[in-house]
Amino acid sequence: MDLAGQEHWDAVWNQQRSFPRVHRANYHHRRLGRILARWADRGADVLDVGCAGSRWLLYCQRKLQCETWGIDYSHSGVRLARSLVGPGAASRILEGDFFDPALLQPASFDFIYSLGVIEHFDDGRIMTRRLAQLLRPRGVVLTAVPNFTGAYGRAQRFFDPERLAKHVILKPGELDQLHLDAGLALEVPAAFWGCFGPAMVYYGPRLQPLFLLGARILQQLVCNGLAAIGCDRESATWSPQIMGIYCKP
């Protein structure tokens, strides 16, 4: 079962008028960009799952020179995603059900990434099985989920427990097991990722406009400052995400 649902995401993306593009000054953008460049070969067929408002479609298209595809069931989110890319790429952003075989054919992609999707399903194995089906042999999938096992989970429960209830809280080993159960192999076992990320918390409709900008500024100051002195360490408490990379044999 999808714990969030289309209505929730339409409401989220209807409030979003624009979306920042990838910027090298952003600590998390810089690090994720390097990871994508490592696994998405030039000319590869790449799929962004849950692409609403995704900044990474354009990055993979232009910077990495991949053939990029995206899919999302939120109409407002797809509209936003299409506004961020060129006309050719916009035609490859699909609005519909990720599980619809008429939209996405098996063994179509060399690299698939999902950044905050699988945790919204009460049984994540339906997601990982579909990912495995869509990958070509030797294809790679990168999966990232929010780290609600530490400080940010406690903060989210305090500020907006209804939002937290739309997530299954996963640990690194549990994320790995979901992919192993789908027949995928470990390439890079799941681990906590990023050193600090308070901007991932949704602070509720009243406080979000007040807190988000400050959280983003603090996040970049702390992360870039720690990176400058080589102390940007991942941790179960403060890392904002959990990320793993998996391969289809």
Distances (CA, A) of 72 to 6, 35, 52, 98, 233: 9, 23, 6, 7, 33
Q: Taking the model in full, what pTM does it have? A: 0.95
All domains in the chain, ordered by first residue: 6-148+167-196+240-247 (3.40.50.150)
- From first to last of its 249 residues, what are the pLDDT tens digits of the chain? 899 999 999 888 888 766 668 888 999 999 999 999 999 999 999 999 999 978 899 899 999 999 999 999 999 999 888 888 877 777 799 999 999 999 999 999 999 999 999 999 999 999 999 999 999 999 999 999 999 999 999 999 999 999 999 999 999 999 999 999 999 999 999 999 999 999 999 999 889 988 988 999 999 999 999 999 999 999 999 999 999 999 999
CB 55 within 8 A of CB 79: no
Listed in order, strand segments (DSSP E) in 83-123 are 93-95, 109-115
Tell how far CA 162 is from the center of its chain. 20
Q: What are phi and psi of 226, to 5 degrees?
A: -65, -35
Tell how far CA 181 is from the center of its chain. 21
